[in-house]
Amino acid sequence: MAKKRNSGIHAFRANEWLINDYARQIRSLSREIIKIAAIGDFGDLTDAEMLVRSALISAALDRYSEAIGPWAESVASKMFRAVAIRNDKEWREVSKSIGRQISTGFDNPVIDATIRETILKNTSLIKNIPRESGERISRIVRAGLNDGKRADTIARELMATEGFAKNRANLIARTEISKATTEITRVRAVEYGSPGYIWRTSKDGAVRDSHAKMEGVFVEWDKPQALDGMTGHAGEFPNCRCYPEVVVSAYANESRQVASIPEEGLWQKMRLNLQKDRAMLQKSRFILKLLRKPESRTRLAQCLPHQPRVALLGECVG
Ligand SMILES: [Zn+2]
C-alpha cells in the first residue's frame, strides 16, 4: 500500500556546499599555473622563442604537478571523508524515519574501499591540471605557428589557460562528489535490500535531453543506465546533477514477513566476519542477493540456525 509513501523514498543528493568548497580549493591552482606560465610576456616573442618558451613552461608545469601531490591528496581525502560522513548521517535519518535499523558507521569495508579508491583517483585528477594546462599551451603555440598566426594572437589564446584550469577544477568537483555520493548510497542501499531508485534530475533548462528522459524512471541498482555512450546511475555522469531517490520501503515490509529469520544477529555476525576477512565479501553479496528472492530466502532461513557464519552459509545454500 502506498499510504506511507514518504517514508519509503529518500533522496540522496550531492551536497552543493561541498561541491563549491571542493571546486574553490582546486581552482586555486589556476593562479599558480598562470604565474609559472607567465603568458603575459608571450606577445613580444619570436616564433623560435615561443617554441622554446612553451616547452620550458610545459616542463615547469609537469614539475608543479608532481609537487602538489601531497596537497592534492589531503584536499581529496578531507573532502571524500566529509561526503561519507554526510551520507552516513542521511542513512541514520532514513533508519529513524522507517523505524528499522540500517547499518551505518565506517566499519563497512566496501564503503571504505570506495572512498579510498575515490581519493586516489581524485589526487591524480587534481595533479593533472597543471600538466594538462602545459600541454594545452604547447598545443596552442605549435598550432598557431603552423597556421602562421601572429604572436599577439597566440598570446591572446594562451590567456584562456586560466579559464581552462578553472573549468577543469569545477568539472572534477561536481562530477566526482556526485559520483561518490551515488556510489556510497548504492552500496548502503543494496546492503539494506533496496531494489532500486527513482531517477531525479534538477529539472531546469541545463539538464541534457538524455537525462531529462530519465526523470521519474525507476532504475534497479544492478542495471546502470547507458546514456550518451557512458554507463552509470543518477549522478554518475560528467557534470551530472541528477540524484537517486532511493526506494527502501518495499524491502522493509517484505522482511517483516520473514521475521522468522534471526536477522539482527545475522547481520551483526556478517559484519564482524567481513571486517575480519575481506575475501568473504563476495559471499555476503551472494547472500544479500538470495535474501531478495522469497524462494531462496526460505532456503536461507532453513540454513541459518545451523550456519551463522557467512562463508559457510554460502556453501550451505549454494
Ligand atoms: Zn544528470
**Domain assignments of the chain as residue spans, ordered by start:** 2-255, 275-317
Centre of ligand 1 to C-alpha 257, Å, is 37
Centre of ligand 1 to C-alpha 233, Å, is 9
Q: How far apart are CA 144 and CA 157, in angstroms?
A: 9
Q: How far apart are CA 218 and CA 149, in angstroms?
A: 53
Reported confidence tier of residue 265, pLDDT bands at 50, 70, 90: low
Chain segment 97-141, per-residue pLDDT in tens: 777 776 666 668 888 899 999 999 999 999 999 999 999 999 999
Centre of ligand 1 to C-alpha 59, Å, is 37
What pLDDT sits at residue 109? Answer: 84
Centre of ligand 1 to C-alpha 290, Å, is 32
Annotate the chain with DSSP letters as a single string. --TTHHHHEEE----HHHHHHHHHHHHTHHHHHHHHHTGGGGGG--HHHHHHHHHHHHHHHHHHHHHTHHHHHHHHHHHHHHHHHHHHHHHHHHHHHHTS----SS--HHHHHHHHHHHHHHHHHHHHHHHHHHHHHHHHHHHHHHTT--HHHHHHHHHTHHHHHHHHHHHHHHHHHHHHHHHHHHHHHHHHT--EEEEE---STTS-HHHHTTTT-EEETT--EEETTEEESTT-STT---EEEEE-HHHHHHHHHTTTS-HHHHHHHHHHHHHH-GGGHHHHHHHHHHHHSHHHHHHHHHHTTT--SHHHHHHHH-
Centre of ligand 1 to C-alpha 229, Å, is 14
Centre of ligand 1 to C-alpha 231, Å, is 12
Q: Say if residue 185's pLDDT is above 60.
A: yes
Whether the CB-CB separation of 269 and 276 falls below 8 Å is answered with: no
Centre of ligand 1 to C-alpha 209, Å, is 9
Q: How far apart are CA 45 and CA 30, in angstroms?
A: 23
Q: How far apart are CA 194 and CA 263, in angstroms?
A: 16
Q: How far apart are CA 285 and CA 280, in angstroms?
A: 9
Q: Are strands 243-247 and 218-220 parallel, antiparallel or unpaired?
A: unpaired
Conformation bin of residue 148: beta by default, left when phi > 0, alpha when psi is -120 to 50: left
Q: How far apart are CA 241 and CA 70, in angstroms?
A: 29
Centre of ligand 1 to C-alpha 286, Å, is 30
Centre of ligand 1 to C-alpha 30, Å, is 27
Centre of ligand 1 to C-alpha 215, Å, is 9
Centre of ligand 1 to C-alpha 241, Å, is 5
Centre of ligand 1 to C-alpha 230, Å, is 12
- CA 121 vs. chain centroid, Å, equals 10
Annotate 25-55 with DSSP letters as a single string. HHHTHHHHHHHHHTGGGGGG--HHHHHHHHH
Q: What are phi and psi of 247, to 5 degrees?
A: -90, 115
Chain segment 93-108, per-residue pLDDT in tens: 888 877 777 666 666 8
- Please state the pTM of the whole predicted model: 0.75
13 or 275, higher pLDDT: 13
- Which residue(s) pair with 11 in the sheet? 245
Centre of ligand 1 to C-alpha 156, Å, is 34
Centre of ligand 1 to C-alpha 93, Å, is 25
Q: Among 23-32, 134-143, 185-194, which is the least confidently predicted range?
A: 185-194
Centre of ligand 1 to C-alpha 193, Å, is 25
Centre of ligand 1 to C-alpha 170, Å, is 16
Centre of ligand 1 to C-alpha 199, Å, is 9
Question: With pLDDT > 70 as the criterion, what percentage of the chain qualifies?
Answer: 73
Sheet holding 196-200, edge to edge: 9-11, 243-247, 196-200, 218-220
Centre of ligand 1 to C-alpha 240, Å, is 4
Centre of ligand 1 to C-alpha 224, Å, is 13
Whether the CB-CB separation of 48 and 117 falls below 8 Å is answered with: no
Centre of ligand 1 to C-alpha 40, Å, is 38
Centre of ligand 1 to C-alpha 177, Å, is 13
What pLDDT sits at residue 296? Answer: 65
Reported confidence tier of residue 288, pLDDT bands at 50, 70, 90: low
- CA 297 vs. chain centroid, Å, equals 32
Centre of ligand 1 to C-alpha 273, Å, is 37
Q: What are phi and psi of 198, to 5 degrees?
A: -100, 125
Centre of ligand 1 to C-alpha 242, Å, is 4
